[in-house]
Amino acid sequence: MFENLEILQFPDERLRRLSVSVEVFNKELKALADKMLEIMYQSNGIGLAAPQVNQTIRLIVVDVSEDRNNPCIFVNPKIKQPSGSVDSSEGCLSVPEIRTTIKRYENITLEYQDLNGVRLEESLDDLLSICVQHEIDHLDGKLFIDYVPDVKLQRLRKKIAKSKKNQPTIEGTTVRVV
């Protein structure tokens, strides 16, 4: 069912779609989460949101552990009680080879459901907090480059366009320089 999932690449417009809440908690949801973790690990990422693999549901997977053995799965995540501010140097599997510094909340309380639909709440800080915020942005159709000032964004767009020009077009991806 989810064997052929691929990470969508900017500027693919599908990355801008809003995700819908998960209402059904079943084996297909678990299979999708497992496949997303597999793709994330294979891509050397620390987080992946369902929209990045063309699934418009509110599901994210994260693993910020050094040994890559502590996967977290958050369904319908919502940030509550954000506090503090931290500069975060970020990259993204959907915007490869680009890194930039943006401001994130230092601490958040995350309200979410697990794969069985059980509602949970957890306080997050450090890299886990930053990663979860980044992935939730994907659920809302936002990319980390949306946070950078216009001048810096123009330079990033040129760099992205140049790297895209040197790559073959991937079927199913709309390449448009903006």
pLDDT tens figures, 8-66: 999 899 999 999 999 999 999 999 999 999 999 999 999 999 999 999 999 999 999 99
Spatial separation of the C-alpha atoms in residues 122 and 132, rounded to whole Å = 12
Query: Which pTM value belongs to this model?
Result: 0.86
pLDDT of residue 125: 96
Q: Are 124 and 107 contacting, i.e. CB atoms less than 8 angstroms apart?
A: yes
Max distance between CA atoms of the chain, in angstroms, equals: 46
Quickly list H helices, 92-149: 126-139
How many structural domains is the chain composed of? 1
Q: Are 142 and 49 contacting, i.e. CB atoms less than 8 angstroms apart?
A: no
Give the CATH number of the domain where residue 90 resides: 3.90.45.10
Domain span holding position 70: 13-165
pLDDT of residue 89: 94
pLDDT of residue 160: 66
Instruction: Give the active site residues.
Output: 135
The answer to whether position 7 is within a domain reads no
The answer to whether position 40 is within a domain reads yes
The answer to whether position 87 is within a domain reads yes
Question: Strand, helix or coil at 44?
Answer: coil
Per-residue pLDDT, averaged over 106-134, amounts to 98
Structure-model confidence comparison of residues 148 and 174, the more confident one: 148
Spatial separation of the C-alpha atoms in residues 3 and 112, rounded to whole Å = 26
